[in-house]
């Protein structure tokens, strides 16, 4: 059974997190957040290797930092936005990864991803032509008026929160991201670029605890989740 390479965007600055150290290099226990993410994915039998996308000036953070057991790890330079970084990562994949082969994209900032969710995504999204882990919205959704008050309630039926990994054919995702970036469209996940290109990504329900570390409170929650 063949494996899938994974592009891991890790070139962000963590502005919402604050502080001088980009959040992906903050330590949880004895290792940086990004290493937890890579090791969790590397333990999955269907993950073949990684392209880790780093900010060009992050070399000092990564020296000797990333030991991922037993799987190839390539490095690519990230861009201004996450979508730029993901496209750079796709273009750094080995030539052995054919354009029709499915590749995973997973945020470095999501260290709690569950192996069974990655398995479910691969098994369901490959036959469907591509898809993403997502969680159905279970809270009531309010629309803010800009002055800190609610001025309405959004329908939550058929509303899902996109997670990662997301899984698409290398060539189709490259083309969709390149087209969206060329058109100046602000793309926040791979599925958005694929939707814009006319695809219908499969929503594969994933665990709510596959959190993205965005704020200090998220880091504390990730530390708890990883300690279980
Ligand atoms: N130009 C960018 C921006 C983000 N990312 C990565 O994409 C993932 C999700 O992005 P986010 O959580 O927004 O991280 P930051 O962009 O660092 O956060 P902020 O928006 O608060 O600066 C992270 O692993 C981040 O490192 C990236 O590779 N390249
Ligand atoms: C890709 C993502 O994690 C799906 O929810 C999210 O869009 C990333 O957003 P960010 O602002 O780049 O963290």
How confident is the model over 166-218, as pLDDT tens digits?
999 999 999 999 999 999 999 999 999 999 999 999 999 999 999 999 999 99
Evaluate if residue 1 carries a pLDDT over 60.
no
ipTM rounded to 2 decimals: 0.99
Strand-strand pairing, 141-144 and 150-154: antiparallel
Can you give the pLDDT at residue 68? 66
Residue indicated by tokens 């698409």: 168
Average pLDDT, the chain: 95
Look at residue 36 in the predicted model and tell me its pLDDT: 95
What pLDDT is stored for residue 64 in this prediction? 66
Mutate to test the pocket of ligand 1, among 78, 109, 110 (most ligand atoms within 8 A of CB): 109
| CA of 13 relative to ligand 2 center, distance in Å | 13
In angstroms, the CA 76 to CA 8 distance is: 10
Tell me the percentage of the chain whose pLDDT exceeds 70. Answer: 97
Residue 51 beta carbon below 6 angstroms from any ligand 1 atom: no
Q: Is there an atom of ligand 2 within 6 Å of 188 CB?
A: yes
Average pLDDT over residues 105-124: 98
> Which residues, other chains included, contact 51 with Cβ-Cβ below 8 Å and sequence gap of 6+?
5, 6, 7, 8, 74, 75, 76, 89, 90, 92, 93
The answer, yes or no, to whether any atom of ligand 2 lies below 6 A from the CB of 58, is no
Q: Please state the atom number of ligand 1 nearest to the C-alpha of residue 213.
A: 12
Question: What pLDDT digit, counting tens, does each position of 13-29 carry?
Answer: 999 999 999 999 999 99
Q: Percent of the chain having pLDDT more than 90?
A: 92
Cα of 71 vs centre of ligand 1, distance in Å, is 24
CATH homologous superfamily for 4-227?
A: Spore Coat Polysaccharide Biosynthesis Protein SpsA; Chain A (3.90.550.10)
Closest by CA position to 102, among listed 181, 1, 183, 178:
1
Of the ligands numbered here, which is closest to the C-alpha atom of 7?
Answer: 1
Q: Distance, CA 12 to ligand 2 centroid (Å)? A: 11
**CB 205 near ligand 1, within 6 Å:** no
Per-residue pLDDT tens for 42-76?
999 999 999 999 999 887 777 766 676 789 999 99
């Amino acid at each position: 059974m063949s494996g899938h390479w994974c592009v891991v965007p890790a070139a962000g600055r963590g502005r919402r997190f604050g502080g001088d150290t980009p959040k992906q290099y903050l330590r949880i226990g004895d290792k940086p957040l990004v290493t937890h993410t890579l090791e969790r994915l590397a333990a999955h039998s269907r993950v073949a290797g990684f392209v880790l996308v780093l900010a060009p000036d992050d070399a000092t953070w990564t020296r000797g930092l990333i030991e991922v057991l037993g799987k190839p790890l390539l490095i690519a330079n990230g861009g201004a936005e996450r979508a730029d970084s993901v496209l750079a990562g796709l273009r750094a994949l080995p030539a052995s990864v054919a354009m029709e082969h499915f590749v995973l994209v997973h945020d470095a900032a999501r260290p709690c991803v569950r192996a069974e969710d990655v398995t479910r995504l691969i098994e369901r999204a490959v036959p469907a032509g591509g898809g993403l882990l997502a969680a159905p919205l279970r809270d009531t959704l309010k629309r803010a008026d800009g002055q800190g008050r609610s001025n309405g309630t959004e329908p939550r039926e058929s509303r899902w929160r996109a997670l990662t990994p997301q899984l698409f054919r290398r060539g189709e995702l490259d083309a969709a991201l390149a087209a969206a970036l060329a058109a100046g469209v602000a793309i926040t996940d791979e599925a958005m670029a694929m939707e814009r290109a006319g695809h219908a990504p499969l929503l594969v329900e994933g665990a709510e605890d596959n959190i993205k570390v965005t704020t200090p409170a998220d880091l504390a929650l990730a530390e708890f989740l990883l300690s279980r």
